[in-house]
Structure 1
Amino acid sequence: MFTGALASGDPALAPLIRPARSHRDLLYFHKSAGGAAYRDYVDHDQRLATPLKDITEQPATAQAARRVLERIFKPAFVQRVVDGAFSSVASDVDAARGVYNLYAIAPSLSAEMPDHRALPMERYIALRDAAWFGYLSDAEDFYEKGPGFADSDITYRMSDVLLDDFFRQAEAKRAGTSALGAELRFTHAEEIIPLAALMGLPGSTVWRRRPTGRTPTPTTRGAGHPSPPSSRGAVPCRGAASSTTWTSWSAASAARAEPVGGSFYTGVTDRPTAYRRAVADEVIKGLPGPTHRRPERSSPDG
């Protein structure tokens, strides 16, 4: 779809575009063999489960869930959901989260709507409740996909494979062994957010104010609970988590065959965002090998 549109916009590019290929270990690493330890962490680690449970079970969550459901159903029916009367619905919070998840992806669905109109999700969820469920989603992303706990890299260690490939591509361009003008990778939030955390990219460890107006106390890349570092999943990974997101590493070849500038990462619908200077510098210098050097990560408030 993307390459078709690219060639349609500039037909001269058509013969230069290689066929798309899948690479599970590189672009779906959280489900590949390299992500086994990560999957065990998500499924069984009590240190992860406890803060997420504490965050979700705050009174504000049940209050927001009831408000969301009562915009759609009669109060008596909502109470039945709360009481667990339906085996197909785990809880009222899960039902309300389903509404929020649709709200989160609604902008991406406008092309599928009559006259390309956006879904009128404001009818079903108020902004304050969307903000609260967004906060819960961000907390989950932070602990499950992002920086996580200060003494562990389990959530982003596996993204090394993608970072290594970035350096291989840039170094091949610098060495003159690659004729590629660009390598475009399409993947998901489960890959983009860990990569952003590994590289310390802008927004991946930024402290954000919670919907309650309270601000968590900053620590280095992790915090106690129930007030997690409120990094926003939408900052390092634009669009809904279920939407395709792409990352591009651009290294243009100058007359001296040296890479120059132009490194960025972006979501499908967002503006390009510059890498940290240390990351771009490593590409420009042309390091001797992809696995020997890494950009230093910054603290969330640095």
Structure 2
Amino acid sequence: MKTLKALLFCSTISTAVLAQNCPDNFLGTKTLYPTPHEKYAPVPAGYSPVFINHVGRHGARHLTKEVKIAYAYQLLQKADSAGALTEKGQLLKTMILRLEKVEGVDTKSISDEGRTELQDIARRMYAQNKNVFANTVNLNVGITKEIRTKQSADAFLGGLKDGLKSQPTINQYNDDTNLRFYDTAPAYKAFEEAGPYSPIMEALEKSEHITDVNKALANRIFKADFTAKRSAQQLDKFTSDVFGFTTIVYSLKSEIARAGFNTEELNFKSFFTCDELYHLGQVDVADDFYKKGPGMDLNGIQVRIAVPLLINFIKTTDEFIAGGKYTAQLRFAHAETIIPFSALLGIEAANKSTKDLTRINKDWQAAQVAPLSSNIQWILYKKANSSDYLVKILLNEKEARIAGLKTATYPYYKWGDLKAFYTKKLNDYGVKMDDDMNKYLKEIAQK
């Protein structure tokens, strides 16, 4: 029996090592921004781009908290002191210490990869819309309280300036109401903690065998007696932290090299099997889908929470048409901004609700909706010598179709039609364009 157990243990370790060659489809919203290779539809005759309304997620980033604060770090230290680490456990401890060195003082900041992502998006924006930036350029730039959004704005502006003939005028301001709406509404916070999706998530964790994944990882890292003393919640938290380390290193290639390591020396994937990474990824995506995306109800609080941003997009577009001074409205925020906003807009790749767990990752793919540096752009086009405007909506620089809104010139929508479509949606929610959005966020409740 002991021999059999030893063989099984060795087999588990061997399989975990093979995880180094697993596909990276478990990354979800931690996926690096994919460079688009789009061939855009021709602009209707007589129209030219005149204004850009944009919101983007921050770029690829460092961890949002120090490594040593993580539960996994602390548990490994405790196990090491007790002599309870396996050989794999010692390797994990070493890797985490390397990651701590890589992170340095840069937690909460974007990485070199993130800066490059944003600079490239801005360069492509300029290249596709040179007419917008042909004359004096005035930019209105919204950020949130998080430093990574200011860093993202700076990186984006750096890329945009590469094409400009003169320095732009930039007004930068904090806008947590329109960009961090999910932080402001008490009813949404309660929904996030325990919404109607909770039974579905519990069922998913069972079908994805997350408890078994947690135990398998712990058994590779800790000796049996130590693992036996940990609660199910503690093992789950440990796995969550290690999985988080696994996903973050993709964003830190330059920083890893600068710290004197190669990526193989921080290959946290090697502690999991391919199946385990897949199971963890499924649960991670579902969590985003139900708490931030279309979830069980496209008109649920998790989508309606983005109403302030939609109103802001409509108002700033109207302000430009009325003779406003800004060439472009640029905003830099978070995945929690992009996911509900794309659903609220009715973008077909981002707006499908379901209670069927098998449909998530088919109808809604986190890596396509909200990868790092994800963005939504409204490109406004004006017909020469007229007051006619068209709008094209882009999700991650791909032309988007709006569910329920017809157009004879897809992907270009008449501005009047688009505005009327969204105004009706707001009215159906009981919201008016001039409502106090801070009050709305405090009073919003799930229907």
TM-score of the pair, normalised by structure 2: 0.51
Q: Does 1:222 align with 2:354?
A: yes
- CA spacing shift, 1:263–1:9, aligned 2, 3 Å: same
Which residue in 2 is equivalent to 1:132?
Answer: 279
Shift in Å at residue 151 of structure 1?
A: 8.1
Contact kept, 8 Å, 1:48 with 1:143, in 2: the verdict is: yes
- CA spacing shift, 1:125–1:137, aligned 2, 3 Å: same
- % identical aligned pairs: 17
- The Cα RMSD (Å) is 3.2
Contact kept, 8 Å, 2:390 with 2:413, in 1: the verdict is: no
Match of 1:42 among 192, 200, 205: 192
Contact kept, 8 Å, 1:139 with 1:228, in 2: the verdict is: no
Which residue in 2 is equivalent to 1:217?
Answer: none
SS at match of 2:279: helix
Q: Which amino acid aligns with 1:250?
A: I
SS at match of 1:148: coil
Which residue in 1 is equivalent to 2:254?
Answer: 111
Match of 2:368 among 228, 231, 235: 235
- CA spacing shift, 1:222–1:59, aligned 2, 3 Å: closer
Query: Partners of 1:151 and 1:257 in 2: how far apart?
Result: 34
- CA spacing shift, 1:93–1:57, aligned 2, 3 Å: farther
Q: Which amino acid aligns with 1:109?
A: L
The answer for unaligned runs of 5 or more in structure 1 is: 207-220, 267-271, 296-302
Query: Partners of 1:181 and 1:82 in 2: how far apart?
Result: 62
Deviation per residue, 1:187-227 (Å, 9 max, x gap): 11212111122223243246xxxxxxxxxxxxxx2326xx3
Query: Partners of 1:185 and 1:145 in 2: how far apart?
Result: 19
Match of 1:163 among 301, 310, 323: 310
Contact kept, 8 Å, 1:146 with 1:197, in 2: the verdict is: yes
Match of 1:153 among 300, 313, 321: 300
Contact kept, 8 Å, 2:295 with 2:354, in 1: the verdict is: yes
Matches within 5 A, 1:244-263: 245-255=374-384, 256-263=386-393
Shift in Å at residue 287 of structure 1?
A: 5.9
Q: Does 1:29 align with 2:181?
A: yes
Query: Partners of 2:305 and 2:380 in 1: how far apart?
Result: 24
User: 108-117 vs 279-288, which deviates more?
Assistant: 279-288
Deviation per residue, 1:125-165 (Å, 9 max, x gap): 34332221111011111221112223851111111111111
Match of 1:194 among 333, 340, 349: 340
The answer for unaligned runs of 5 or more in structure 2 is: 1-153, 427-447
Which residue in 2 is equivalent to 1:213?
Answer: none
Contact kept, 8 Å, 1:68 with 1:125, in 2: the verdict is: yes
Higher share of residues assigned helix: 2
- CA spacing shift, 1:9–1:126, aligned 2, 3 Å: farther
Match of 2:288 among 135, 141, 154: 141
Contact kept, 8 Å, 1:252 with 1:260, in 2: the verdict is: yes
Shift in Å at residue 251 of structure 1?
A: 1.6
Contact kept, 8 Å, 2:381 with 2:391, in 1: the verdict is: yes
Query: Partners of 2:249 and 2:274 in 1: how far apart?
Result: 14
Higher share of residues assigned strand: 2
Which residue in 2 is equivalent to 1:300?
Answer: none
Contact kept, 8 Å, 1:145 with 1:155, in 2: the verdict is: yes
Contact kept, 8 Å, 1:30 with 1:158, in 2: the verdict is: yes
Bigger radius of gyration among the two = 2
Which residue in 1 is equivalent to 2:236?
Answer: 93
Contact kept, 8 Å, 1:265 with 1:273, in 2: the verdict is: yes
Q: Does 1:293 align with 2:424?
A: yes
Q: Which amino acid aligns with 1:223?
A: K
SS at match of 1:186: strand
Shift in Å at residue 82 of structure 1?
A: 5.5
Match of 2:323 among 165, 177, 200: 177
Deviation per residue, 1:250-296 (Å, 9 max, x gap): 22444235434442132xxxxx122214396555336667962349x
Shift in Å at residue 24 of structure 1?
A: 0.9
Q: Which amino acid aligns with 1:248?
A: Q
